[in-house]
Amino acid sequence: MKHDIERYTPSQRSNHWAVAILFVLAALSGLALFHPALFGLSGLFGGGTWTRILHPFIGAAMFILFLVLALRFRAHNRLDANDRQWLRQMNDVVHNREEKLPPVGRYNAGQKVLYWVLVLCMLVLLVSGILIWREYFSSYFGITTLRLAAVLHAAAAFVLIVSIIVHIYAAIWIKGSMGAMLYGTVSRAWARKHHPAWAKDVERK
Question: Does 150 engage in binding with another protein (CB under 8 A)?
Answer: yes
In whole angstroms, how close is the CB of 53 to another protein at the nearest point?
A: 8
- 61, 87, 155, 197: which one binds another protein (CB under 8 A): 155
**Quick one: which of 9, 14, 169, 178 contacts another protein (CB under 8 A)?**
169
**Residue count, binding to another protein (CB under 8 A):** 55
List 153, 167, 194, 195, catalytic entry = 167
By the 8 A CB rule, do 27 and 161 touch? yes
**Number of Cβ atoms within 10 Å of the Cβ of 173:** 11
Q: Is 76 a catalytic residue?
A: no
d(CA 126, CA 134): 14
Interface of this chain with another protein, residues 50 to 89, rule: CB under 8 A:
51-53
Cα(107)–Cα(78) distance, rounded to whole angstroms?
Answer: 9
Q: Phi/psi class of residue 47: alpha, beta or left (left: φ > 0; alpha: ψ in -120 to 50)?
A: left
Q: Is 3 helix (H, G, I), strand (E, B) or coil?
A: coil
CA–CA dist 148, 180 (Å, integer):
39
Q: Closest approach of Cβ 50 to another protein, in Å?
A: 9
The 3-state DSSP class for residue 6 equals strand
Active centre residues (catalytic): 167
- List contacts with another protein (CB under 8 A): 1-3, 32-39, 42, 47-49, 51-53, 94-96, 98, 132, 134-135, 138, 143-144, 146-148, 150-151, 154-155, 158, 161-162, 165-166, 169, 172-176, 183, 187-190, 192-194, 203
